[in-house]
Amino acid sequence: MSVKPKLETVAREAGVSVATASQVMRGTGRISEKTRKRVLQTAKRLNYVPDGRAASMRSGESREIGFAIHQIANPFNAEVISGASDLLESEGYLLSVLDARDDALRQRQQLEAFIRSSRAGLLWVPAQDTPRTTYELLATHSLPTVTFLRRADVDSIDHVGIQNAAATAIATEHLADLGHRHIAFLGGTAQVEVRNERIEGYTRVLTERGLGAPIVWDSEDDKPSGMQAMMDLRAAHPEITAIVCNGDMVAIGASLALIRMGLEPGRDVSIVGFDDIQDAGIATPPLTTMAISPYDLGRKLARVVVDRIKEPDMPAALSLVPARLVVRGTTVPPRDDTDPARG
């Protein structure tokens, strides 16, 4: 078993003092380029990596950020994480991600783990029914925190979210302007702020346009669940000609369900997604959606936590990102009810 190299070994092999080797590895000090290059080459040959934990203890500064999120496998979350990771890496930070699976107890354990390992900051999607004691935990340890999507139950934490109600209102207006009069909302199951706001925007337009009572159909936000939910919705409400979805994954699943039923997304039932993940533009047919650019959203989220670390006393920031309607192949005017081909 090989022995983990120490800084003293790097210094000896490079022919320099331990202090000089330390300055090279930290990128500090007035060291000649020749010496710096020799030390770095020696460190690489020996597979030496500085002990970040020890450095953090000496300097009192950590370079790791924690991200507590739900459903990492969801492409939307994956793109957000990618954006956050890229921005943080450019700022010299490492991002570590844990999946709380919308479980408040599991979330508490993960946050405690981040605190024990002295993370420099936290990006956090609060779980449903997060207790007050969890917010008190973060406040006690003064951990720089930015909530994402779901707002914290306190006003002192930075937040990055989406203008959800405005976005689904635009989506519903788009369908109504095309001539659809029977529009449903599909996706989500939790009674959380994000989904409730999206339903509110959808419902408001139905009321303003006199389009009847809303039809809200639950579904987990993944493709298999979206497929099954679309089949069930179609069976229960065959009059529906358009749906506003809680996310792109459930929307793509709904499109696949229509195809399996021998129908055509857009032509038989128009569909609007939410997020504009990469799969939306290459789906068959390409998905009309409310675009928020998950990758850019992740970069914005990371920027806020870096700013909070640098300026811990600045007022809490609230940033709500607008969504943009991207019209593709899944929204067209409804067929004429008198068309015999409609059956």
In eight-state DSSP terms, residue 303 is H
In eight-state DSSP terms, residue 219 is B
Q: Could you report the per-residue pLDDT of 262-297, keeping only the tens digit for each? A: 999 999 999 999 999 999 999 999 999 999 999 999
Fold of 63-162+294-322: Rossmann fold (3.40.50)
E strand or H helix at 242: strand 242-245
Q: Could you report the per-residue pLDDT of 52-100, keeping only the tens digit for each? A: 555 554 444 678 999 999 999 899 999 999 999 999 999 989 999 999 9
Fold of 7-50: 434 Repressor (Amino-terminal Domain) (1.10.260)
pLDDT at 116: 85
Res 329 pLDDT > 60:
yes
Q: Could you report the per-residue pLDDT of 202-224, keeping only the tens digit for each? A: 999 999 999 999 999 999 999 99
**Neighbour count for residue 88 (Cβ, 10 Å):** 26
Q: Could you report the per-residue pLDDT of 30-41, keeping only the tens digit for each? A: 899 999 999 999
CA distances from 342 to 83, 187, 241 (A): 44, 26, 11
CATH architecture classification, 164-293+326-342: 3-Layer(aba) Sandwich (3.40)
Q: Could you report the per-residue pLDDT of 148-198, keeping only the tens digit for each? A: 999 987 888 999 999 999 999 999 999 999 999 999 999 999 788 999 999
pLDDT at 2: 60
Where in the chain do CATH 3.40.50.2300 domains reside?
A: 63-162+294-322, 164-293+326-342
Share of the chain above pLDDT 90, in %: 78
The per-residue pLDDT of the chain, averaged, comes to: 91
Residues linked to residue 66 through DSSP beta bridges, in sequence order: 96, 122
Residue 201 · residue 272 · CB < 8 Å: no
Where in the chain do CATH 1.10.260.40 domains reside?
A: 7-50
Integer Cα distance of 205 and 169 in angstroms = 6
Question: Within 13 Å of residue 321, how many CA atoms lie on the same side as its CB?
Answer: 22
Radius of gyration from C-alpha coordinates of the chain: 25
pTM to 2 decimal places: 0.82
Query: Which tokens in the block code for residue 191?
Result: 């009674």
